[in-house]
Structure 1
Amino acid sequence: MDRIAIISDVHANITALNAVLDDIHSRGISRIFCLGDSVTKCCNPDLVIDKLRENCEVVLRGNCDESISSPNAKLKSFWSRVKIGEERANYLHNLPVMTEFYMSGRLVRLFHASPFSTSHIYNPMYSNHNTLREVIELSSPMQLFENTEFLGKTTNDPIPDVIGYGHIHTPNVFRYKNKTIFNTGSVGMPIEMANDNNLQNADNRFSTIASYIILEGTYGSKELSTFSINLVRVPFDIEKEIEYLENSDMPGKDKIIKSLRTASSN
């Protein structure tokens, strides 16, 4: 059986990334795919990009990667853009938005957020109705399976059997109309959508930990055989990452620190 570790949304959190990579390597897994958003939020985007380039077979582009790697000169002074430098920015800008492969007879398609952009949202546990994000929210899980121009697909291309994505920072796995959907959650900024910034909630310790997915099956095979999706949660030293933030000159770090401690959306 082959195994692939699927990670996403590291968000410049080098402490969490190191913990997750240690866990992956301890399991003897060498094939690692990252679904994007390597940067912003935490303060070590340069170290994270370099570590992902060293360890990942595939790295995709996320919305935050797009926001700081655009050639638009207005973004050149953005804190994370300055931190990563032009070579890494060009690397992010040229990353693909999708990858797919067969595994145990199933066509598995991976992207950061959706088939329409790196910013559209599908969250089965939370609605953006009557919010500013309503216009980019998908109304049905079946929209995740569409072949779109954004992905470089046409209606003649095969429809995937399994979709994996990141973006929402909240891990889940479910079946719908003979299809399988999984979300990796986030390595660097875990979120529980119902959390309320309560620093005294002891149950936060179950949510403020990194997550990733392990796919297990026969890689590259179109023949139906055993296939599994495993959600893994990995604790990391949150206070160490917060120390990096406190010692940095990154703007807006107080909100990030609170989110790291509560797993709430900032």
Structure 2
Amino acid sequence: MDGAPGLSPVQRIAVLADIHGNLMALDAVLADIDGQGISEIVNLGDHLSGPLDPAGTAERLMQRPMSAIAGNHDQYLLTLAPDAMGLSDRFAHASLTPAHRAWLGSLPATRQSGALFLCHGTPLSDETYLLEEVVGDHQVIARGAGAVDALIGELEADILLCGHSHQPRLMRLPNGRLVLNPGSVGCPAYQDETPYPHRMECGHAMASYAVIERRGTAVDIAFRHVAYDHLAAAALAERNGRPDWAEALRSGRIGRGG
């Protein structure tokens, strides 16, 4: 129900990020959203890059009404030559049609949606973590509230939504604003070299997203972790020549062998 007589109506919003071409995980999340009767979805980017099913993921997203923005890997798919791309972007690039690229190109870098502000990384950079900081080789720490507030600046939004790090996190800033990262729908672990070598690991193989529930000025946040056939996704990554992705999809961790 949207609300009993005399009560403010309830608004429920599903927040997705970092699908990375994992159609199996996306379909499980969309089924979970539908099962809760949620009709409003926002999507924080990095939709397609990965060695799984980028074209199928693009088709599903193009068919589903939602407010979406582009992530850094979406930008790489549109702006880099294939020989300058990483392996995941190159795989996705080879699979996409002109219609898929046109859809990606239509997505803004940020979006204001009522009291929500959507960005992939920070409001000014889709390549910078907002709620985490890489401080040295394999050293990732939570960014302090003051530093987060400085990266947000004077934006007029009650809730700022970010992705990019694939880590489900929630922070309330001293001024009362909330900052939410829903975690990753389709890629529970990865490693990166920028600005220093580091790993991001959820430690589980489920598809992650979040639900915002608003009633008047009251806000509830729920993190959702949805089981799907992650072993089938891992097997697909193996077949496509990416054992690193296969390990991440199986365990939510990066193998320590290298």
TM-score tier (shorter):
0.7 to 0.9
1:192 & 1:255 partners in 2: Cα distance? 8
Identical columns (%): 24
Partner in structure 1 of residue 4 of structure 2: none
Q: CA shift at 1:97, angstroms?
A: 1.4
Query: 1:21-60 residue pairs with structure 2 within 5 A?
Result: 21-60=30-69
Deviation string, structure 1 residues 48-104 (Cα, Å, up to 9, x no partner): 1111121232121001111112265756992211111232123212311122233xx
**Distance (Å, rounded) in 2 between the aligned partners of 1:69 and 1:53:** 17
The one-character-per-residue Cα deviations of 1:162-195 (angstroms, maximum 9, x if unpaired) are 1111110010112121221110100001249998
Report if aligned partners of 2:19, 2:26 keep a CA contact under 8 Å in 1.
yes
Q: Which residue of 1 aligns with 2:159?
A: 162
| 1:85 aligned residue (84, 97, 103) | 97
Structure 2: runs of 5+ lacking an equivalent:
1-9, 192-197
Contact 2:121/2:127 (<8 A) preserved? yes
264 and 132 in structure 1: CA distance in 2 versus 1, 3 angstrom threshold: closer
| C-alpha contact 2:18 2:184 (8 A) present in aligned 1 | yes
1:59-138 to structure 2, matched below 5 A, reads: 59-70=68-79, 72=81, 78-102=90-114, 107-124=115-132, 127-131=133-137
1:189 corresponds in structure 2 to 187
More strand per residue: 2
Give the alignment of 1:115-264 within 5 angstroms: 115-124=123-132, 127-131=133-137, 140-146=147-153, 159-177=156-174, 178-191=176-189, 204=203, 207-217=204-214, 224-248=216-240, 251=241, 253-264=242-253
Residue 192 to residue 235, structure 1, CA distance change in 2 (3 Å): farther
- Cα gap change, 1:6 to 1:243, in 2 (>3 Å): same
Determine if contact 2:16/2:44 at 8 Å carries over to the other structure.
yes
Q: How many residues were matched structurally?
A: 233
TM-score by length of 1: 0.77
Larger mean CA deviation between 33-42 and 86-95 belongs to 86-95
- Which ranges of 4 or more aligned residues in structure 1 deviate by more than 6 Å? 192-197
- Measure the CA separation in 2 of the matches of 1:145 and 1:159: 10
Contact 1:174 1:182 in 2 (8 A): yes
1:95-125 CA-to-partner distances (Å, cap 9, x unmatched) read 11122233xxxx221111111121111234x
For the structure 1 residues 192 and 93, does the alpha-carbon distance in structure 2 shift closer, same or farther, using more than 3 Å as the test? closer
2:226 and 2:61 map into 1 onto residues whose CA distance is 17
Q: Which residue of 1 aligns with 2:6?
A: none
For 2:34 and 2:59, the matched residues in 1 are separated by: 17
Measured at CA, do residues 163 and 240 of structure 1 come closer, stay the same or move farther in structure 2, by a change above 3 Å? same
